Amino acid sequence: MIKLSTLVVAISLALTSQAQAEQTITASDKAIKLAKDTILIDTHIDVPYRIHENWVDVTKATTDGDFDYPRAVKGGLNAPFMSIYIPAHLEFEDKGKSYQLANQMIDSMEAIAQRAPDKFAIASSSTDIEEQFKQGKLSIAMGMENGSPIEGDMKNLQHFYDRGIRYITLAHSQSNHISDSSYDIRRKWKGLSPFGKELVTEMNNIGMLIDVSHISDDAFYQVMDLSKTPVIASHSSLRKYTPGFERNMNDDMLLALKENGGVIQINFGSSFVTAKAGSWGKQLKSTKESVKKDGTKLSKDFDAAYRVKNPYPFASLEQVLDHIDHVVELIGIDYVGIGSDYDGVGDSLPIGLKDVSSYPNLVQGLMDRDYSDKDIKKILSGNLLRVLKQAQEYAKKH
């Protein structure tokens, strides 16, 4: 057993080492200016569920989490898609609670805009985002993570569109009534359900983006066959760097995404970026299970003690940039953006990208890799805005 004092010292040293490493990443004035002078869209930030679980006023500086208004301003973030996340629990999927929870979280986003109208505004279109940027306001766009709140009724699709939802992640960590999940070994539908296939068409017609993050490979290719508009992967990274991790996208999927005209928004979570982080998590889980099998009760500081002996292999900014590079090299600059998963991946964020104040570090990294200002702007928002506008135009005709 590790003494508490020893544990505290070890954790302190580890955090100090990490902090020192992050201090070596310094964005230039040009990178900071480019981040702030450009519309910067991040398609996946989990503020709604964070404040649903433990309310805090993100219109002001906060001491926890990855997002608040001052840090967003510092980082140049002005158009986050707030994730209306519905856990993949049976109580939500089967007992009709998804619809209620989704509406409550949308209410919480509207409350932020109403509480600080000088800082925030709800955005439901590309035009809103562009106009609010000119006004110096932070746009709150919304996406729904897990289509469970549709509850098998197309009327609910219209309802959530009217409430400002502009993309739906069809499933989350378990298969639902719409689609199989990449995490769920039970492939109930072998892709999309019959209702899910109808939903894709209706989402096209209404101007709702289809998000292929989280769904199974079979479901992904069925969406590709059905969708008449570009889709997004709102917070996914590449299987090239995480072999066997179906939650990420492989090269064949990227090629299909290019043909569709869609965009992959790179997830910053370390386990999405590097295989070492994913393996670490599996080993921790296995160790816990072994301890339980021996009849030993897990101590409250078990995870912290484990980290002391087995430091978490945080991804680096450079490794995140490698994901962007590979997309660009394989399918081109027009098909990649940012979907950080801030407030959604706990303390697993890469060194140099720890919260929403960190985007200039990413911009600096892109500059150091000889990306032009024009191409950086495409990554920050241009590609996502193109897809959003195409979905809006298609809906006008249908």
Mean pLDDT of the 252-257 span: 98
Task: Give the whole-angstrom CA distance, residue 212 versus residue 43.
Answer: 13
The one-letter amino acid code at 10 reads: A
Mean pLDDT score across all residues of the chain: 93
Which residues are CB-contacts of 278 (< 8 A; sequence separation ≥ 6)?
Answer: 242, 245, 271
> For 25-274+316-397, which CATH superfamily applies?
Metal-dependent hydrolases (3.20.20.140)
In this structure, the dihedral spanned by the alpha carbons of residues 224, 227, 229 and 231, taken in order and rounded to 10 degrees, is -50
Q: Do residues 120 and 169 touch, judged by C-beta distance below 8 A?
A: no
The model's pLDDT over 350-361, given as tens digits with 9 standing for 90+, comes to: 999 999 999 999
Statement: residue 16 has pLDDT above 60:
no
Q: What is the 3-state secondary structure (H, E, C) of 121-139?
A: EECCCHHHHHHHHHCCCEE
DSSP state of 208: P
pLDDT for 233: 99
Burial of 185 (0-12, 13-18, 19+ CB in 10 A): exposed
Q: Where are the beta strands (DSSP E) in the chain?
A: 41-45, 79-85, 120-122, 138-145, 165-169, 209-211, 232-236, 263-266, 336-338
Statement: residue 6 has pLDDT above 70:
no
Statement: residue 15 has pLDDT above 90:
no
Distance between the two ends of the chain, CA-based, in angstroms?
Answer: 65
The model's pLDDT over 107-154, given as tens digits with 9 standing for 90+, comes to: 999 999 999 999 999 999 999 999 999 999 999 999 999 999 999 999
pLDDT for 24: 63
Bridging pattern class, strands 165-169 and 209-211 = parallel
Least Cα distance to 264 among 289, 298, 233 occurs for 233
Residue 137 in tokens: 């306001």
Statement: residue 86 has pLDDT above 90:
yes
pLDDT for 145: 98
The model's pLDDT over 39-71, given as tens digits with 9 standing for 90+, comes to: 999 999 999 999 999 999 999 999 999 999 999
The model's pLDDT over 240-249, given as tens digits with 9 standing for 90+, comes to: 999 999 999 9
pLDDT for 256: 98
Q: What is the 3-state secondary structure (H, E, C) of 141-197?
A: EEEEECCHHHCCCHHHHHHHHHCCEEEEECCCCCCCCCECECCCCCCCCCCECHHHH
pLDDT for 202: 98
Least Cα distance to 277 among 217, 350, 383, 210 occurs for 350
Residue 68 in tokens: 């608040």
Range from 86-95, 146-155, 316-325 carrying the lowest mean pLDDT: 86-95
The model's pLDDT over 333-343, given as tens digits with 9 standing for 90+, comes to: 999 999 999 99
pLDDT for 93: 75
The model's pLDDT over 269-302, given as tens digits with 9 standing for 90+, comes to: 999 999 999 999 899 989 988 888 777 888 888 9
Task: Give the whole-angstrom CA distance, residue 1 versus residue 74.
Answer: 43
Q: If you search the block for the tokens 């490979």, which residue do you land on?
A: 217
pLDDT for 300: 82
Mean pLDDT of the 197-220 span: 98
Statement: residue 4 has pLDDT above 80:
no
Q: Where are the domains of the chain?
A: 25-274+316-397, 275-312
Phi and psi at 6, nearest 5°, equal: -65, -40
Task: Give the whole-angstrom CA distance, residue 210 versus residue 146.
Answer: 11
3-state SS assignment for residue 337: strand
Task: Give the whole-angstrom CA distance, residue 122 versus residue 124.
Answer: 7
230 or 9, which is more confident: 230
Range from 76-90, 215-229, 289-303 carrying the lowest mean pLDDT: 289-303
Task: Give the whole-angstrom CA distance, residue 200 versus residue 210.
Answer: 7
Which residues are CB-contacts of 391 (< 8 A; sequence separation ≥ 6)?
Answer: 204, 207, 208, 209, 229, 230
pLDDT for 96: 75
Burial of 200 (0-12, 13-18, 19+ CB in 10 A): buried
Range from 264-268, 305-309, 380-384 carrying the lowest mean pLDDT: 305-309
pLDDT for 227: 98
pLDDT for 299: 84
Q: Do residues 284 and 303 touch, judged by C-beta distance below 8 A?
A: yes
pLDDT for 5: 39
